Amino acid sequence: MYYNKKRLEELRKEGEEKFEEMERERKRRAIGQKYKANEIEIRCVHCKHDKFELDETLLNTRAMTFFDVEWLNDTAKTLICKECGYIHWFAKEVVEVNE
């Protein structure tokens, strides 16, 4: 597959833009983000820090594990404190706070 100079320049710019976007996301995740649950801003119960990393975790049950269908289990939102690492579990929706 061959590209002309114009197309190569477009691909280079697209690649640089994607890299910059990924770098911003990486930095944002390293710092952490603020979240709300039930319209209340979340703070770590251990260290009172307010920046977390969001993840989603399966809530395994014995029956689903026995029948080898764990993927059918419910999920929970987990927030990992960026200061101390304490994991907070939420069964309901957690919303990111935009500063």
pLDDT digits (tens, 9 = 90+) for 26-75: 887 778 899 999 999 999 999 999 999 999 988 877 877 778 777 777 88
CA-to-CA distance for 83 and 86, rounded, in angstroms?
8
| Strand (E) or helix (H) holding 37 | strand 35-37
Nearest C-alpha neighbor of 79 from the set 60, 92, 62: 92
Predicted confidence (pLDDT) at residue 88 exceeds the cutoff of 90: yes
Tell me the domain boundaries of the chain: 5-96
- Tokens at 4, concatenated: 């002309």
44 and 81 Cβ atoms separated by less than 8 Å: yes
What is the dihedral angle through the alpha carbons of 36, 38, 44, 50, rounded to the nearest 10 degrees? 20
Residue 13 phi/psi, 5-degree rounding, is -65, -45
SS (H, E, C) 45-80: CCCCCCCEEEEEEECCCHHHHHCCCHHHCCEEEEEE
Q: What's residue 53's pLDDT?
A: 93
